[in-house]
Amino acid sequence: MSNFNSLIEDKFENYLKKNSLKLKSFHPYFEKASNEMLNAGGKRFRPKLLLSVVDSFTPLLIENSLSIALAIEILHTYSLIHDDLPTMDNADLRRGHPTLHKTYDEVTAILVGDGLNTHAFYLISTAPLSSDIKVELIEELSLNGGLSGMVLGQAIDCYFEDKKLNLNELKILHLNKTAKLIASSLKMGAIISNLDKNYQIRLYDFGLKLGLMFQIQDDIIDVTQDESESGKSANRDEDKNSFVNLLGLNGAISEKDKLILELKSELNSFDEKLRENLLNLIEKYFK
């Protein structure tokens, strides 16, 4: 792992620990449950994408950006908690940890997810950045994480379970469910660094392809790794519209490799430090 990735990961993890959710209540375990999936770990891929952009252009703003990076991770974590619910994927394991509805109950898991969703925007609103920047960040995250992005993708995924989609429809599903939040992580870093709109769009478009590749790899992992390796419930996609189910394992690997070549080519159009930071992340997560 590159020195940048090590430093950012340590800084982010320390920030997360120092800013664990403190809830004043006599509820016996809701505070613990609210922090549990965040503390369980994860790739932290989305916050590191944001911080990699900030580090490339305005490294002095890294500290001011940590709460924004945490907001993205919190929103992502809420989506995983809800995705694992019995009414959706009914998963037992996430991040090597029992899912919240298994440890506690379904009501707790739903309410923790709801709370994390809204808390993400509280973190952005109180970040040490200008009000104009914070409004843009809230707009970007709510657009891509809500009805026009991740939630829409989840709705398509659930409705069309057991109904086969074609490749174009499958890409639309996962562009919304997975890729838009990854793309917005890059764009939000660009907004913090006050990059021009054209650069923001280029990073967002790059992120959409990166997000598709992320999803394809996730589909591959689901059928090639057991729970001890992946840290989550395996073989849950038999009835889902996944790239492996549609294209076969070799076809999915081929689609992933094609995207890797496209992304590496597009990296050459970015500034040198950003290119290096993003390449390090891609090589770490997409071996």
Tell me the pairing of strands 97-98 and 93-94: antiparallel
Answer yes or no: is pLDDT of 98 > 80: yes
Query: Can you tell me whether residue 117 is helix, strand or coil?
Result: helix
pLDDT of 214-229, one tens digit each?
Answer: 999 999 999 998 776 5
Instruction: Return the domain boundaries, the chain.
Output: 3-285
Q: What is the pLDDT of residues 31-51, one digit of tens each?
A: 999 999 999 989 999 999 999
* 229-236 long-range contacts, CB within 8 A, separation 24+: 231/41, 231/93, 231/94, 231/95, 231/96, 231/97, 232/91, 232/93, 232/94, 232/95, 232/96, 233/84, 233/89, 233/91, 233/92, 233/93, 233/94, 236/89, 236/91
Q: Which CATH superfamily is domain 3-285 in?
A: Farnesyl Diphosphate Synthase (1.10.600.10)
Give the pTM.
0.94
